[in-house]
Amino acid sequence: MTISMYRASVPPIVRSLTNLRAILEKAAAHAEAKKIDPSVLLTMRLYPDMFPLSRQVQIATDNAKGVAARLAGLEPPKYEDHESTFPELVARIDRTVAYLETFKPEQIDGSEERTITLPLRGTTLSLNGLPYLFEFVLPNFYLHVTTAYAILRHCGVEICKQDFLGKLS
């Protein structure tokens, strides 16, 4: 059986980003209803040495746009990491989803053996497409989406597993 690198990357990432967008909207509504300054939620961390909510969303979107571009042999677009409000984070997700939706399966399928090279904390990571997707990008992407969810749940935002998963087909 041949794997579709497109099907294994773009649709599930778009789905998770769409769910994360809805979670952020619930968080913004929660902050408004409870009279909480939204920056309190946006700067919240699970632990002092972890990134805050806003950075979790930025990294998730960076992973998302990066994987599609790199598997297609393109350079990913660069975003300024300046989002400091829920609407700005939602707009970043929307921009990322719109970018992902420009890709066609034929641009990404067959990239299992494509060499992917990217700078990573002072070194260069070089992997073939299949391990890049399954061993690096997807775990990293889901870590940051899950952490964003966990931060908001910890802060009392009324979200649940179904919000994270979204509607099942």
The pLDDT assigned to 168 comes to: 80
Please give the tally of structural domains in the chain: 1
Q: What CATH number corresponds to the domain at position 155? A: 1.20.120.450
Distance, CA of 160 to chain centre: 18
> In angstroms, rounded to a whole number, what is the distance separating the alpha carbons of residues 10 and 12?
6
Inform me whether the pLDDT recorded for 1 exceeds 60: no
Tell me the sheet residues that pair with 120. Answer: 123
79 Cβ partners below 8 Å, 6+ apart? 58, 61, 62, 65, 92, 95
- Reported as a single tens digit per residue, the pLDDT across 15-51 is 999 999 999 999 999 999 999 999 999 999 999 999 9
Q: CA 91, CA 62: separation in Å to the nearest integer? A: 14
Check residue 100 and give left, alpha or beta (phi > 0: left; psi -120 to 50: alpha). Answer: alpha
Q: What domain range includes position 52? A: 5-165
pLDDT attached to residue 119: 85
CA 63 to chain centre: 6
119 bridge partner residues: 124
Q: What is the pLDDT of residues 130-152, one digit of tens each?
A: 999 999 999 999 999 999 999 99
